[in-house]
């Protein structure tokens, strides 16, 4: 496969865009380096790059593209928005329709607010929780990613119940010292942190089903225990459902798992591919937000008609019969095919899958926390990633990311992917 144009464009990009990419995860740093493939067009389950190569897309733009690229219903909605003005700076009827759709699907969203990204959504839930409780400290879980605002770019301290340290240059130590990071699926460590800091904790922030060190489900009772312990301490539970909402079911992970948070952050899928974020939760907590309450949050582009109409159209597609069954069925076929290919080629892998999302880890161990995901074989993943790209299958360039199946994928795409995996595993043996 030729990548001459991609390579040339990456060289050019390096001169004007920092690192040549607009989000660090798009670089190939985590897979041994190289020029990222530069895409020209997406259609359905496929990508077409600037060298004319075609790929089956499992990146799905890191989650949002659940309908496949350029879905006609969403395209029509975006076109309508373009024709009627993409930004008014006033209320519109569409945002009310969309808020009601979200609330119907995720009943814990008694009130919502729209904004432009998952980062903003999470950042604001933290602010609102602090405003509501009058406390500052936050507990989060190792390996969960919550966007790039200061309070969530914090690494764990030297033990599970120690205060955090900045995980990025530019994050003040004072901010990091208000954040405690504990291992996911480890209720003992969480309890220890709450025993020590409980009365100072404003909120506990968690991806209810993790999407950021692969797809990792909570162990039985983990989320309920978090709820119970957090509420006993007078703190709030925030679910970051930026990846999970509408990914596994027409609703949130909270609806799938039957555990309700106080506040929820949303993004990705709900924009149908256009930039969006939203947050919501209990009415008395949301009433802390301006203009009713003292917690400030605003946005020039917040609730813009283009993103909202695109989001409405996306949910209309997802609400149709059989959507999630299709994702689950193809996911199961893909999982089975990859496992068989691994067995045939003596490659040790573990697959975590939920419906149409899965992660292939190069390890024999089960993965239910970040430390285990960290210990998987990244070098082999890097080689595997490149072998797949060369055969026209696009994955995210990181061992920690999920493969996302869209409703545009077909059984033939899955078969072709399994064939490519077989070839890749065969090459890894050599």
Catalytic residue among 140, 260, 268, 386: 268
Q: Annotated catalytic, 240?
A: yes
In the complex, the smallest distance separating the C-beta of residue 30 from ligand PLP, rounded to whole angstroms, is: 14
Nearer to ligand PLP, 240 or 335 (CB): 240
Burial 302-312 (b: 16+ CB within 10 A, else e): bbbbbbbbbbb
Task: Closer to ligand PLP by CB, 120 or 413: give it.
Answer: 120
268 included as an active-site residue:
yes
Q: Which is nearer to ligand PLP, 62 or 425 (CB)?
A: 62
The number of beta carbons lying within 10 Å of the beta carbon of residue 179 is 27
Helix (H) or strand (E) holding 318, with range, is helix 305-318
Give, to the nearest 10 degrees, the angle between helix 187-197 and helix 222-232. Answer: 10
Phi, psi of 294 (to 5 degrees): -85, -10
Residue ranges binding ligand PLP (CB under 6 A): 62, 117-119, 122, 145-147, 207, 211-212, 240, 242-243, 267
> How far apart are CB 145 and ligand PLP at their closest, in Å?
5
Q: How far is the CB of 322 from ligand PLP (least distance, A)?
A: 27
Asked if residue 246 lies in contact with residue 407, where contact means CB atoms within 8 angstroms, the answer is no
Q: Which is nearer to ligand PLP, 233 or 243 (CB)?
A: 243
Least distance (Å) between residue 425 CB and ligand PLP: 28
Residue closest to ligand PLP when measured from CB atoms: 118
291 upstream amide cis, omega within 30 of 0 = yes
Can you spell out the DSSP letters for 135-171? --EEEEETT----SSGGGSEE--SSTTSB-EESSTTS
Phi-psi region of 366 (alpha: psi -120 to 50; beta: other; left: phi over 0): beta
* Pair type for strands 165-166 and 111-115: unpaired
Give min distance, CB of 125 to ligand PLP, in A. 11
Structural contact between residues 403 and 217, judged by C-beta atoms closer than 8 angstroms: no
64 Cβ contact partners less than 8 Å away, ≥ 6 residues apart: 268, 269, 271, 272, 273
Angle at which helix 323-344 crosses helix 411-429, to 10 degrees, equals 20
By beta-carbon proximity to ligand PLP, the closer residue of 117 and 376 is 117
| Least spacing, CB of residue 272 vs ligand PLP, in Å | 14
Instruction: Compute the least distance from the CB of residue 402 to ligand PLP, in Å.
Output: 10
125, 263 contact by CB (below 8 A): yes
Q: Which of 145, 279, 324, 361 is catalytic?
A: 145
Instruction: Give the rounded distance of the alpha carbon of 279 from its chain centre.
Output: 15
191 noted as active-site residue: no
Q: Which is nearer to ligand PLP, 368 or 400 (CB)?
A: 400
d(CA 168, CA 359): 26
Closest CA to 405 of 59, 2, 14: 59
Closer residue to ligand PLP, CB minimum distance, 198 or 281: 281
Helix 378-390 to helix 411-429 angle, to the nearest 10 degrees? 130
Could you say which of 49, 57, 178, 240 is catalytic?
A: 240
Q: Which residues are catalytic?
A: 145, 240, 268
């Amino acid at each position: 496969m030729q990548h001459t144009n991609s390579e040339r464009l990456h060289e050019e990009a390096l001169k004007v865009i920092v690192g040549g990419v607009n989000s660090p995860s798009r670089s190939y740093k985590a897979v041994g380096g190289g020029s990222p493939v530069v895409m020209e067009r997406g259609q359905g389950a496929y990508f077409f790059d600037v060298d004319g190569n075609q790929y089956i897309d499992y990146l799905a733009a890191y989650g949002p593209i659940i309908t496949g690229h350029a879905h006609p219903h969403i395209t029509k909605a975006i076109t309508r928005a373009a024709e009627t003005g993409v930004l008014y700076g006033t209320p519109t009827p569409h945002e009310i329709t969309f808020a009601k759709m979200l609330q119907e699907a995720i009943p814990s969203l008694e009130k919502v607010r729209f904004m432009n990204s998952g980062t903003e959504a999470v950042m604001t839930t933290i602010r609102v929780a602090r405003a509501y409780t009058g406390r500052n400290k936050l507990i989060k879980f190792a390996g969960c990613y919550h966007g790039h605002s200061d309070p969530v770019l914090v690494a764990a301290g030297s033990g599970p119940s120690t205060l955090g340290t900045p995980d990025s240059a530019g994050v003040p130590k004072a901010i990091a010292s208000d954040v405690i990071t504990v291992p996911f699926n480890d209720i003992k460590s969480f309890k220890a942190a709450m025993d020590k800091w409980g009365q100072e904790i404003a909120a506990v922030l968690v991806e209810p089903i993790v999407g950021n060190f692969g797809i990792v489900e909570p162990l039985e009772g983990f989320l309920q225990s978090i709820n119970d312990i957090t509420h006993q301490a007078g703190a709030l539970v925030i679910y970051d459902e930026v990846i999970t909402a509408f990914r596994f079911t027409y609703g949130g992970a909270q609806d799938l798992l039957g555990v309700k948070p106080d506040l929820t952050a949303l993004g990705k899928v709900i924009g149908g591919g256009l930039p969006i974020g939203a947050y919501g939760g209990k009415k008395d907590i949301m009433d802390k937000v301006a203009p009713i309450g003292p917690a400030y949050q605003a946005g020039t582009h917040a609730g813009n008609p283009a993103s909202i109409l695109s989001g409405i159209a996306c949910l209309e597609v997802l609400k149709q019969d059989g959507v999630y069954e299709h994702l689950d069925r193809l996911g199961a076929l893909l999982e089975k095919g990859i496992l068989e290919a691994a067995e045939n080629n003596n490659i040790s892998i573990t697959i975590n899958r939920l419906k149409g999302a899965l992660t292939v880890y190069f390890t024999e161990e089960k993965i239910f926390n970040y430390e285990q995901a960290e210990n998987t074989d990244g070098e082999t993943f890097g080689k595997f990633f490149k072998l797949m790209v060369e055969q026209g299958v696009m994955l995210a360039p990181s061992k920690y990311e999920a493969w996302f199946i869209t409703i545009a994928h077909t059984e033939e795409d899955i078969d072709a992917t399994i064939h490519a995996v077989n070839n890749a595993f065969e090459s890894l043996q050599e």
